[in-house]
Amino acid sequence: MIQENLAQVRENIRKACEKSGRDPKEVTLLAVSKTMPSSVLEEAYHAGNRAFGENKVQEIMDKSPVLPGDIQWHMIGHLQRNKVKYIVDKVCLIHSVDSLRLAEEISIQAGKKHVEADILVEVNIAQEESKFGVAPEETAKLALEIAKLPHIHVKGLMAVAPFVEDPEDNRKYFQKIYNLSVDIQQLNTDNISMAVLSMGMTGDYMVAIEEGATIVRVGTGIFGERNYQSKESCR
Ligand SMILES: *Cc1c(COP(=O)(O)O)cnc(C)c1O
């Protein structure tokens, strides 16, 4: 099942690239494996997937030691400062940086572990109360502040678009993120790259690719519906 789903998502990525004149090699499929057990990730690994996204530090710590070493782990969820030290040397990209205080902690912990941390600035693109991320108009300022810190490198932007029935409704937000990245790139600052745009999920990744996404984060479309049940019953 997972193998078929992956093949379908890859085909959709290819189509979206074709439609927008892009090279599919520019787009990374990040399999969002939160709540899934390691055995399920293994299945995706054997179907050729190497990039996995998790939104909890604990899940990265549990899964990374028991799965193959060539997996690229991405932290895509809200990150608490006191947990940075557990994952800073285990993930290849932190998508969810939305404050200078968090960036400072990442900088410190990366220094201690002798690694360089690549990060994205998370933008609350539709200004939703329920979402994390910095306001669009504050994004450049935050990126400029982070760029001054050692051992941390701004590689682009990340956004979680609103939940919508029709993916076309999110096109304007993906365009906004793209335009914001162009504006920030034009500041031409050392230690800020806008090469990575992490946007688009199961419901809208094809539209996101048409508007410039370089990483799409797909969970349900690969692994099926998530079951949060077991966690509820532990409370
Ligand atoms: C869960 C999650 C996804 C994947 O969502 P699907 O709709 O299942 O594809 C993508 N990005 C973030 C930040 C998530 O938390």
CATH number for position 113: 3.20.20.10
Can you tell me the distance from the alpha carbon of 38 to that of 130, in angstroms, rounded to the nearest whole number? 30
Tell which atom from ligand 1 comes closest to the C-alpha of 205: 9
Can you tell me the distance from the alpha carbon of 158 to that of 123, in angstroms, rounded to the nearest whole number? 6
CA of 138 to the centre of ligand 1 (A): 24
Asked if 183 and 140 count as a contact pair (C-beta separation under 8 A), the reply is yes
CA of 225 to the centre of ligand 1 (A): 11
Can you tell me the distance from the alpha carbon of 195 to that of 103, in angstroms, rounded to the nearest whole number? 19
Domain housing 72: 2-223
Can you tell me the distance from the alpha carbon of 29 to that of 13, in angstroms, rounded to the nearest whole number? 8
Split into its structural domains, the chain has a count of 1
Query: Hey, how many other C-beta atoms are within 10 angstroms of the C-beta on 95?
Result: 29
Show the beta-strand stretches assigned E in the chain.
28-32, 51-54, 72-75, 93-97, 117-123, 152-159, 192-198, 215-218
Which amino acid residue places its CA nearest to atom 13 of ligand 1? 76
Which residues line ligand 1 at a C-beta cut-off of 6 Å? 32, 34, 55, 76-77, 160, 201-203, 217-221
Residue 98 lies in a domain: yes
Tell which atom from ligand 1 comes closest to the C-alpha of 201: 9
Residue 234 lies in a domain: no
Residue 229 lies in a domain: no
pLDDT in tens, the chain (235 residues): 999 999 999 999 999 999 999 999 999 999 999 999 999 999 999 999 999 999 999 999 999 999 999 999 999 999 999 999 999 999 999 999 999 999 999 999 999 999 999 999 999 999 999 999 999 999 999 999 999 999 999 999 999 999 999 999 999 999 999 999 999 999 999 999 999 999 999 999 999 999 999 999 999 999 999 987 654 444 3
Closest CA to 8 of 230, 224, 227: 224
CA of 82 to the centre of ligand 1 (A): 23
Local structure of 77: helix, strand or coil: coil
Residue 150 lies in a domain: yes
pTM assigned to the model: 0.96
CA of 206 to the centre of ligand 1 (A): 14
CA of 182 to the centre of ligand 1 (A): 25
Which amino acid residue places its CA nearest to atom 4 of ligand 1? 219
Residue 27 lies in a domain: yes
Residue 231 lies in a domain: no
